[in-house]
């Protein structure tokens, strides 16, 4: 029975199946997470309502409102995948594994959707394998071309996929990392994959995993670009409605916990046992239930209260607090929790395209990470918590000198 409270929940149409999406969390008015501003740009800043819901029919968790893709992915898109040494190794390993298992035939062809600066395809290219990257964001695509890669500056969708099939023939592998969850027009993507993929080919994509997001209350994985939060069950349903089958799932530690999904044409491969095992685990944990998602929403509110209280106390005590990592994820945290330059004086980051600018919505100045050791604060709020090992190893001197990290995943705590 639908309770009166459920009836009052806002609804939207599911972008995966056309069913009804029921809202469970509202994260408020939010800016574009990767739009770092100059001072004169502040009055024109774009905002949208960030809320997330569950599809009653296919269990896909998704945003209630879509941001037009050209606002997010354009000439100056500032995220460079090669900015993390750990991710460089992850993608080199991924490419080698794909080449070994899926590119054994004569003249194999590997396509990547959202190749960014070429962090994965460079290994494919070095192996002498035919490849093509789709990358609509201008400067990151240019960085990939500078590595000798073949890049098409288009959004992958049905029409562009058909064009590549006509000019280049079928693909053995279509790969995407941290990109399919960015794309509301999933129907066009799957029709495009259908058009471009060879009969025995695989569509492999990895994205932040709903199970990990719930387990860690990592609500900062929710922002304009992360339209979908996938689970094995929702991806299985999606695959089935487009003539594909989910044949493997691989849990990954990167970016705070992801799953790599492997789709093949229906009936072409026997699904690995771990597909059913992961779905059973999701069902046992109630991953796709409003009861579990409401509990998550309540935990998010607690993190906001705890983080604000901690930062306000430290500020009142006269401590110097900065942040580390101008991540897209941190736009959600900073704007939802109301963290501006009054609580965190600056954010350090290695990305030249973000430095000298202001963070989205809360307008905290971004400084080069190279300056962090020269002017050590008392506390550093680790916005790039998914790169904690890499960053803490690099910045060991900070803690040795008495500094402490503030983390908010899986709950607010201080590591000194
Ligand atoms: N694969 C990289 C980049 C992830 S960021 C990594 O894992 O680090 C997401 C990228 O997808 C951006 O570079 C963006 O420009 C690109 N993108 C967004 N929509 C796309 C589409 N429809 N087709 C191809 N690329 C897309
Ligand atoms: P990331 O968490 O990978 O993604 P998103 O922006 O999608 O949330 O972003 C990491 C950010 O942190 C990026 O701007 C680069 C920066 N960074 C550093 O400043 N130093 C580092 O050592 C690493 C690994 C990242
Ligand atoms: Zn649905």
CA distance 406 to 298: 21
Residue 6 confidence (pLDDT): 72
Q: What is the largest CA-CA distance in the chain?
A: 67
The mean pLDDT of 110-135, rounded to a whole number, is: 98
Which residue, 52, 64, 63, is CA-closest to 290? 52
pLDDT tens digits, 212-246: 999 999 999 999 999 999 999 999 999 999 999 99
Percent over 90 (pLDDT), the chain: 98
Contact, 65 vs 77, CB < 8 A? no
Determine if ligand 1 sits within 6 Å of the CB of residue 183.
Answer: yes
The mean pLDDT of 138-143, rounded to a whole number, is: 98
Residue 22 Cα to ligand 3 middle (Å) = 10
Please report which helix (H) or strand (E) contains residue 171, including its range: strand 171-177
Give, using CA atoms, the residue closest to atom 3 of ligand 1.
Answer: 116
Residue 1 confidence (pLDDT): 52
Q: In Å, how far are 11, 96, 116, 399 from 133, measured between CA atoms?
A: 36, 17, 8, 41
Q: What is the DSSP letter of 396?
A: H
Residue of 384, 390, 398 best suited for mutating to test ligand 2, as the one with most atoms within 8 Å of CB:
384
Q: What is the DSSP letter of 284?
A: H
Give, using CA atoms, the residue closest to atom 21 of ligand 1.
Answer: 155
Helices (H), 119-231: 121-126, 138-145, 158-168, 186-196, 210-216
Helices (H), 46-116: 69-72, 85-102
Residue 97 Cα to ligand 2 middle (Å) = 25
How many of the other CB atoms lie within 10 Å of CB of 52? 24
pLDDT tens digits, 259-300: 999 999 999 999 999 999 999 999 999 999 999 999 999 999
Give, using CA atoms, the residue closest to atom 1 of ligand 2.
Answer: 327
Determine if ligand 1 sits within 6 Å of the CB of residue 330.
Answer: no
Q: In Å, how far are 9, 74, 90, 212, 286 from 139, measured between CA atoms?
A: 41, 8, 23, 32, 42
CA distance 300 to 292: 13
Determine if ligand 1 sits within 6 Å of the CB of residue 205.
Answer: no
Contact, 179 vs 157, CB < 8 A? no
Determine if ligand 1 sits within 6 Å of the CB of residue 33.
Answer: no
Determine if ligand 1 sits within 6 Å of the CB of residue 91.
Answer: no
135 CA: nearest ligand 1 atom: 25
393 burial (CB, 10 Å; 0-12 / 13-18 / 19+) is exposed
Contact, 223 vs 329, CB < 8 A? yes
CA distance 169 to 171: 7
CA atoms within 13 A on the CB side of 323: 31
How many residues are listed for the chain in this entry? 416
Residue 141 Cα to ligand 1 middle (Å) = 10
CA distance 61 to 292: 12
Query: Which residues lie below 8 Å from residue 124, measured CB to CB, with a gap of 6+?
Result: 95, 98, 99, 110, 131
Residue 2 confidence (pLDDT): 62
Question: Model confidence at 317, in pLDDT bands (50, 70, 90)?
Answer: very high
CA distance 14 to 23: 11
Q: What is the mean pLDDT of the chain?
A: 97
Question: Model confidence at 7, in pLDDT bands (50, 70, 90)?
Answer: confident
Determine if ligand 1 sits within 6 Å of the CB of residue 135.
Answer: yes
Would strands 244-252 and 258-265 be described as parallel, antiparallel, or unpaired?
antiparallel
pLDDT tens digits, 339-385: 999 999 999 999 999 999 999 999 999 999 999 999 999 999 999 99
């Amino acid at each position: 029975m639908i309770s009166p409270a459920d009836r009052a929940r806002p609804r939207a149409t599911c972008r995966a199946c056309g069913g009804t999406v029921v809202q469970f969390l509202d994260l408020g008015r939010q800016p574009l997470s990767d739009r770092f501003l100059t001072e004169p740009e502040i009055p024109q800043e774009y905002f949208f309502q960030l809320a997330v819901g569950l599809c009653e029919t296919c269990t896909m968790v998704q945003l209630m409102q879509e941001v037009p893709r050209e606002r997010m992915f354009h000439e100056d898109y500032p995220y460079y995948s090669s900015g993390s040494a750990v991710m460089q190794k992850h993608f080199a390993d991924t490419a080698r594994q794909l080449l070994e298992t899926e590119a054994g035939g004569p003249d194999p062809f590997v396509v990547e959707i959202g190749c960014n600066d070429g962090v994965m395809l460079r290994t494919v290219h070095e192996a002498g394998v035919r490849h093509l990257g789709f990358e609509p964001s201008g400067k990151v695509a240019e960085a990939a071309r500078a590595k000798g890669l073949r890049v098409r500056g288009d959004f992958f969708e049905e029409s562009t996929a058909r064009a590549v099939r006509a000019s280049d023939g079928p693909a053995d592998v279509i790969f995407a990392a941290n990109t399919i969850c960015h794309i509301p027009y999933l129907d066009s993507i799957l029709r495009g994959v259908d058009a471009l993929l060879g009969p025995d080919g695989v569509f492999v994509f990895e994205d932040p995993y709903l199970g990990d997001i719930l387990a860690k209350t990592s609500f900062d994985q929710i922002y304009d670009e992360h339209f979908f939060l996938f689970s094995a069950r929702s991806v299985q349903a999606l695959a089935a409605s487009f003539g594909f089958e989910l044949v493997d799932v691989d849990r990954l530690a990167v970016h705070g916990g992801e799953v790599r999904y492997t789709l093949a044409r229906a009936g072409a491969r026997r699904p690995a046992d771990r597909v059913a095992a992961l779905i059973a685990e999701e069902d046992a944990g109630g991953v796709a239930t409003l009861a579990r998602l409401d509990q998550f929403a309540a935990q998010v509110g607690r993190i906001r209260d705890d983080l604000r209280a901690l930062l306000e106390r430290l500020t009142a005590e006269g401590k110097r607090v900065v942040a580390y990592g101008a991540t897209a994820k941190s736009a959600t945290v900073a704007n939802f929790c109301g963290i501006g330059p009054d609580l965190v004086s600056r954010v350090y980051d290695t990305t030249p395209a973000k430095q000298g600018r202001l963070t989205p919505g809360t307008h905290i100045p971004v400084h080069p990470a190279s300056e962090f050791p020269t002017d050590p604060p008392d506390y550093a709020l680790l916005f790039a918590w998914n790169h904690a090992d890499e960053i803490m190893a690099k910045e060991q001197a900070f803690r040795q000198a008495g500094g402490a990290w503030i983390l908010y995943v899986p709950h607010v705590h201080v590591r000194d």
